[in-house]
Amino acid sequence: MARVVKTLLLLLGVAAGFQAAPLLRPASQAAVSRCAADSIQMSKICDITGKRSNNANRVSFSNKKWARLQEPNLQTKRLFSKELDRFVRLKVATSTLRTIRKLGLDETAKKYEIDLNKF
């Protein structure tokens, strides 16, 4: 009798361990999570000016029109902030980089009312 109780407790313990932390996911869940990860994209928005994609038309010689997006030329840059005394990693449009070169990073951030502490 004691032997039967011990084996039942052992089996219950093993079964509870498998329920608490499954080692392998079913194939259907793995496929769903992989597909969901493929559909995630980073936003194409300038961190300082807020420039984003513009709706436009591609126009052929016969004047047919197809909708398309004009996306900003974004570059990820590490820029040094003198006020924060550290580097800041920003996703910035190239037109904004010209303004940063002209005014400086801290002055440009003040112009567009951006808090660089968030980056």
Q: Which of 82, 118, 79, 84 is nearest to 99 (CA)?
A: 79
Q: How far apart are CA 2 and CA 5, in angstroms?
A: 5
Q: Which two structure tokens, joined as six digits, stand for 15?
A: 């079964």
pLDDT of residue 37: 47
Amino acid identity for residue 91 in this structure: K
pLDDT of residue 45: 96
Domains, the chain, in order of start with CATH, read 54-118 (2.30.170.40)
Q: Which of 45, 104, 108 is nearest to 80 (CA)?
A: 104
**Distance, first Cα to last Cα, the chain:** 66
pLDDT of residue 5: 65
Mean pLDDT of 14-34: 53
Q: What is the pLDDT of residues 65-109, one digit of tens each?
A: 999 999 999 999 999 999 999 999 999 999 999 999 999 999 999
pTM of the model: 0.62
Instruction: Identify the residue with better confidence: 19 or 97.
Output: 97
Ramachandran assignment for 91, one of left (phi > 0), alpha (psi -120 to 50 degrees), beta (any other): beta
Q: What is the pLDDT of residues 25-69, one digit of tens each?
A: 555 554 444 444 455 667 899 999 999 999 999 999 999 999 999
